[in-house]
Structure 1
Amino acid sequence: MDKEKLVEKNRNRSVPLFECDYNLFDHHLEFYTALGFEIIYYQKAPYRFASVIKEGIGEFGFYGNKNFKENGNRGGCYIYVPNIQEVFADLKSNLKAYYGKIPSKGIPRISRINKTAEDWRVNITDPGENTIIIGETFGDSTTLMEAEDERVRELESKFEKAYAAAYRLAYSKEDFLAARNTLEVAFHKFTAGLNSDMLFKAKVLQAEVFASLGQKKQAKGAIREANEIQLTENEKVQLYSFYERLREINEDINTN
């Protein structure tokens, strides 16, 4: 190894190590190569271990656990990037080229770009159920989350509080079942006097949650109900990003 490569190898960096199923080790690596990672180390004995790397994201290591199904550990990490839109477009293009579609639900999967109180982020769940979060932050996460918690506490509308909780469950934690249940209670109990724009945003979120759970019929119903909500032209302009998300959800349902 030449001096320049050795310097790069020894620069200050972290390499997350994840467990995966020993018997599905190569299938696990296949998903990362589909994302566009390059395998830079691979061994089958005396134990299964491999490393993958992708410019702009970093390096991950994997080792096979023969008892993964019984007592395997699921891990995760957060990767900071300055260009989340470009990174996501690249990952999505690679997956589309490899699989012929974007795996957006089930295991493995990749989310859309989601906006949280802290960042723009993409969640990747690999075949071993490890979670890779790739995000472009808005600033100090502790400060931002404290401000968001304070904003939610000050909300007077029980519906808006439920929407905020469901939004966080879906996009920050990917707990779609809890998000679905939270929204169902909100729609059942707290819609009296609700503004149309808030109702529209909640229906878009509900459609995405249903789609993420593979409940196509319910997702289509939520999309239809969202499109039936009467909004002013000014509200439609302000909710442009939500209309775009609704369009993406509808395309995903009809193509996957």
Structure 2
Amino acid sequence: MKGDACIPLLPCVEIAPTLEFYALLGFEVTYQQRAPNPYAATRRGGAQLHFFGLKGLDPQKAFSSCLIIVDEVEALHARFLASLRKAYGRLPLRGLPRMTRMKKGQTRFTVVDPSGNSLMFIRRDEPAGYGDDADAPTSLLGNALKTARRLRDFKGDDAAAAKVLDVALKKDGAGTTVERAKALVARAELAMALGDTPRALELAREAGTLPLLASEREALRQLTQSQA
């Protein structure tokens, strides 16, 4: 007996640009109709996505989502990145469509299509509690880093993640020096993603002035290099 199958059916503003976008991600069209209702089916490996035209759809208010389980994510993200950069001349981090960034060791990323549908690509062996620290953070900065990471990696909300870190960084005694350095680096990376280069440079300079051990500074350097 064959196993059950479930195929997401996602709304879109227009079928043609939707299929053009998914072609950049390696999805091939397996079926398409224009009448009586716009409809299309696509496939990429074992993943199938179907689309239907929806009049009046506002992509900025869309909330349809889909989880796609894959064997690996870093190489897949790199392939998507190359394809989107070639098509748009840059990695689309804001607006529609867009794709979240990828850090070394990350096990998921999100693509939002032109109609506002969110596709989260998740590594098959992702550990339970992804994004959580081995030990629950107890400081304000530690909790802020955890929350900001979730806002960035799960929701793709860079602005909200930046706000969380800004609040914590303004508090005296909010955490250890190492936690402050990590928060500054994370906030600098978000500033770059949000198009605020002067702020990113300011935050990076502040992180560089903190009194850290050589081993801590090396770990911070590696953290900085892992930001994508």
Q: Which has the larger helix fraction?
A: 1
Which whole-Å CA distance do the structure 2 matches of 1:66 and 1:217 have between them?
42
* Aligned position for 1:168: 150
Identity %: 28
Gap change, CA 1:131 and 1:157, over 3 Å in 2: same
- Give the structure 2 partner of residue 19 of structure 1: 11
Q: 1:50 aligns with which of 35, 40, 47?
A: 40
Q: Do 1:88 and 1:113's aligned partners in 2 also have CA atoms closer than 8 Å?
A: yes
Which moves more between the two structures, 88-97 or 237-246? 237-246
Are 2:24 and 1:34 aligned? Answer: yes
Structure 2 CA distance for aligned equivalents of residues 28 and 89 of structure 1: 21
Residue from 123, 133, 145 that aligns with 1:136 = 123
* 1:240-251 aligned within 5 A: 240-246=221-227, 248=228
Determine whether 1:90 maps to 2:79: yes
Q: Is the 8 A contact 1:65 1:72 kept in 2?
A: no
Flag the 1:148–1:244 CA change in 2: closer, same or farther, 3 A.
closer
TM-aligned CA deviation for residue 25 of structure 1: 3.0
Distance 1:42 1:193, change over 3 A: closer
User: What code does the residue aligned with 2:31 have?
Assistant: Y
Structure 2 matches for 1:1-256, cutoff 5 A?
A: 12-21=4-13, 24-55=14-45, 58-69=47-58, 73-114=62-103, 120-136=107-123, 138=125, 141=128, 144=129, 148=132, 151-152=135-136, 155-190=137-172, 192=173, 194-246=175-227, 248=228
AA matched with 2:120: I
Letter in 2 for 1:75: S
Once the 2 structures are TM-superposed, how far is the Cα of residue 18 of structure 1 from its aligned partner?
0.7
Partner Cα distance (1:223, 1:32) in 2:
37
Q: Cα–Cα, structure 1 residues 225 and 107, in superposed 2: closer, same or farther, change >3 Å?
A: farther
SS in 2 for 1:80: strand
Q: CA RMSD in A?
A: 3.1
Structure-2 change in CA distance of 1:74 and 1:232 (3 Å): same
In structure 2, C-alpha distance between the alignment counterparts of 1:198 and 1:95, rounded to whole Å: 34
- Post-superposition offset of 1:213: 3.0
Seen in structure 2, the aligned counterparts of structure 1 residues 241 and 107 have a Cα distance that, compared at 3 Å, is farther
Alignment length, in residue pairs? Answer: 228
Distance 2:195 2:60 in 1: 27
* Whole-angstrom CA distance in 2 between matches of 1:92 and 1:34: 10
Unaligned 5+ segments in structure 2 are: none
Shift of 1:196: 3.4
Residue pair 1:48, 1:63 contacting (<8 A) in 2 also: yes
Query: Deviation of residue 70 (structure 1)?
Result: 9.3
Tell me the SS of whatever aligns to 2:58: helix
Superposed displacement of residue 15, structure 1: 1.7
Unpaired segments ≥5 residues, structure 1: 1-6, 249-256
Instruction: Confirm or deny: 8 A CA contact 1:16 1:77 kept in the other structure.
Output: yes
After TM superposition, give the deviation of residue 175 of structure 1 in Å: 2.4
